[in-house]
Chain A
């Protein structure tokens, strides 16, 4: 079980500070378990043959699951402190294919002292160093 660090206060956050990188082997079974848990049991997310019939190279990871792993990158960084992710935006640039290792990346881009928020860029990189999903997130720290 990964250790969740308890973050730091707003004052401790550094612009340029990294989130991750965190390697993750995304198996077909894990994608299927996401599809099952979220009512997305359709061929493109569950079997290669069915996905090919839809013109895809094979089974793909649901966009919502990509969003979920990026969300987790941010919430793991936040830890169990009272800070809260208040926004996450994602752009799906290329399909995320299961049975590959992906790497989750991020870094802090801005701090807003007025409302004690920090903004960060986050992204999913393929094993060929392509950015498959990119996004930005905002974390609000307690007063």
Chain B
């Protein structure tokens, strides 16, 4: 089966979210929920003496930023069912309390794979996170699997 889609979809940013301010409280709730104990993420005093000079969010905090309301309308669907198959995250720079994060999303790649259970189409949507200075802090690739 050939996967049919409009090639113009690839690489075009379809959505940029409003900035989300990151507070120390948000990071504290997150670290508590995952049982974080690394002082670089939990103890401002210790973090000041650490490699980043101040408290930073654990890397996985980067995946907690919500995509926009219309995100899923822009994710191409193939076949009957879609699943969240996984994520691939590139951590570019740490996120600090006081940062303000925006997400810009585009379809990065669409490809087909045939496995034991049949044919699957994967859609990779990349959300790039930037801080208030326009610096990229992370790329989050969402991998959606469709069974055809």
Contacts and interface: CB of A to CB of B under 8 A. Distances in A.
Interface string B20-55: 000000100110111111111000001000110000
Interface stretch (A11-19, A74-82, A119-127): A74-82
Nearest to A84: B91
Interface residues of B, number: 32
Contacts, number: 99
Contacts of B30: 37-38
A133 to B, nearest CB: 8
Contacts of B89: 67, 87-89
Interface string B43-82: 0001000110000001110011010000000000000000
Contact of A86 (B29, B83, B87, B91): B91
Nearest to B50: A80
B32 A88 contact: no
A44 to B, nearest CB: 11
B91 A37 contact: no
A112 to B, nearest CB: 16
Contacts of A84: 51, 91
Contacts of A89: 86-89
A79 B88 CA distance: 22
Given A65-B34, A71-B58, A80-B40, A91 B86 contact: yes
B33 to A, nearest CB: 4
A64 interface: yes
A30 B91 contact: no
Interface string A80-115: 111011111111100000000000000000000000
A39 B61 CA distance: 12
Contacts of A2: 37
